[in-house]
Amino acid sequence: MKEHKITGLSCGHCALKLEEQIQQLPGGERAKVQFNSSKIVLDEQMDLDSVRSILSTENVRFESDGEPTGPNWLMIGLYVSVASFIAALITEHMMNITYVSILFYAVATIASGYSTFLKGLRNLTKLKFDINTLMTVALVGAVAIGEWKEAALVAILFGINELLESYGMEKARRSMESLLKVAPKEALLLRDGKTEVISIEELAVDDVVLVKTGQKIPSDGVVVYGKSSVNEAAITGESLPVEKESGENVFGGSINNEGVLHVKISKTYNQSALSKILALVQEAQESKTPTELFINRFANYYTPIIMIISALVMLVPPLLFNDPWGEWFYQGLAVLIVGCPCALILSSPIAILSGITVNARNGILIKGGAYLEQLGKINIIAFDKTGTLTLGEPHVVAEKAFHPDFYKVAYAIEKSSSHPLAKAVVAKCREVGAEEVEADEITTVSGQGITAVVDHKTYRLGNEKIIGSMHADEDVINVIESFKEDGNTIVLVASDTEILGVFAIADEIRKESPDIISLLHEKGIRETVMLTGDHPIVADKVAKKTGVSSFFGGLLPEDKVEKVRSLKKHGKVAMIGDGINDAPALATADLGIAMGKGTDSAIETADIVLMQDHLGKLPDAVQVSRKVNTIIKWNIGLSLGLKLLALLLTIPGWLTLWIAILSDMGATILVTLISLTVLLHNRK
């Protein structure tokens, strides 16, 4: 299958009809016309000329065919129509020359309505009923009963309506396209001391590229030379620069703010975080939400129902009540125009596309409109603890020294270790300015800790087992018990005869977690729950500091799954984790949200990825999704409500052709403008 960009596609209902026709061509069974992104997916063996012929019936063409030569006849036709209509009004009401005004009305009708008329005739021969068919019948009927002014006004308003539909969808598409343009196109390859400009697709793993000030880093890699601040907004949505130096990872698409960097490529561009993000965002444009699927199904029944109502309006009053045929024939034509489903079909896609775009700008990757819609319905959020509410990095929260050599000995023993607890101890020792000496004869004692020789004396470092049966003063025991009661991990430092001191180590709570939990409750999340494998004492401590509604500790992965299932009985549940250990729980929840910062596992696991690797933008995402859901409901209500109001006007016989078209035009304007307000979210 091959993807082609198309232009001129402004009507969602038309896109569905084009897709049906193309699927009937040889090899077209799997063809897709993607309205949101204005693309068409075709089998590579398909005859493109046949596809072009079908597309041309709706004034749609392949972008690769270039810009249309000659003038824009549709726009010119609209100008001619408006001018002719004004001329008709002048000749009719000021000069009282009826036959000349009819001529001007006819020109106005033909100039704006000729393409609709031709499409409608083709549809009538195939017994297909869409907006073009309805408009054609209405225009011919109006002319047949001498309503020239009404016919001209309907043709003009319908033309304006089509332009408005096109504007709204193009605005949302351009916003999405501007987001997708962050991808780099070229790279400066360093080879034998010289630079060479190559295409991004030619980059290979282990190539070294030169990135100058203001340039985009071409793909994921590692800095091998240079120091600079880098703007990672394309990946994380964070506008604040991140300092990078030799040995640190960088993302493709991020911008070098200053200086020069040499970057060793670790992934080809197609495997880079940015490439995967952009691919998923593009796919997200075309994923249909349950609401969109319902609207499309409803639209297929709506138009035939309107045609039946129109026939009843034309026939019932004259036949049963002996009312004038002409008057009710006119009313029936007006009802036909109310059958246009365009505003209804536009109720959802512009808002969904805008919502996905706004979240992507904020570094929140939503993999489809269905997930955006689901996020707006979530009322319970379950959090993993480690790496989600906490940093996932142990640090010393308290310590007590009983001997002057406490820090020196601890530093000497731990500084060469890569264990997370050792890193926490080393960081604290450096913070207090511990003397740096070397440790010898370092030996690991399984399940207990380490023994080593420092300044010709043997020392021990580890948990309580490392001190064996050594007698400890009551003060020392009280300190240890106090640290343990707070849910901390204990690291003791001792000689053969005495305890030098004790470290209390815990996972550091993210500084933003309490505020984020509070904000989520304000945004309408009814319950926040922490699920963790840590000891319940530790869980209780973190829960109190973060403000979650409830917590469950000591859980295995399968236990988390059961808890999520239990929570689902009480509402719509989102599960937030790291995308690896919590994969079963993420899959079980109504919505899986991963902490990512561009990691492959996070991008591939969850329905939504927080690319910043923190919860800071989560309340914003909830707010945007709820706004989108509210807008879609309003749009559906407005589009159907205005049409219902127009239909009710048939009861007293007040419905006119121009009121009918205005009801659809008004709905289209409101639906478009309201949907585009999503793009204004967070803009200052």
Q: Which residues are catalytic?
A: 384
Per-residue CA distances from 359 to 38, 350, 373 (Å): 21, 14, 13
Among residues 79, 68, 3, which one has the least CA distance to residue 40?
A: 3
Asked if 637 and 644 count as a contact pair (C-beta separation under 8 A), the reply is no
Q: Which residues contact 218 (CB under 8 A, 6 or more apart)?
A: 184, 186, 187, 200, 203, 209, 211, 252, 263, 265, 269
Six-digit token string for 626: 């709820």
| DSSP 3-state of 603 | helix
What count of Cα atoms within 13 Å lies in the side-chain half-sphere of residue 240?
Answer: 2
Q: Which residues contact 399 (CB under 8 A, 6 or more apart)?
A: 428, 501, 502, 503, 504
Scanning 253-324, the segments in alpha helix (DSSP H) are: 273-286, 290-321
Question: How many Å from the N-terminal Cα to the C-terminal Cα in the chain?
Answer: 42
- For residue 448, which amino acid is it? Q
CB atoms within 10 A of CB 456: 6
- Which contiguous run of DSSP H or E holds residue 500? strand 499-509
* CA dist., res. 246 & res. 244, Å (int): 7
* CA dist., res. 664 & res. 655, Å (int): 13
Asked if 655 and 378 count as a contact pair (C-beta separation under 8 A), the reply is no
Angle at 305 between CA 302 and CA 308, to 5 degrees: 155
Looking at 15-150, which runs of residues are DSSP E strands?
32-34, 39-42, 61-62
Looking at 43-183, which runs of residues are DSSP E strands?
61-62
| DSSP 3-state of 231 | strand
Q: Which residues contact 374 (CB under 8 A, 6 or more apart)?
A: 572, 590, 591, 607
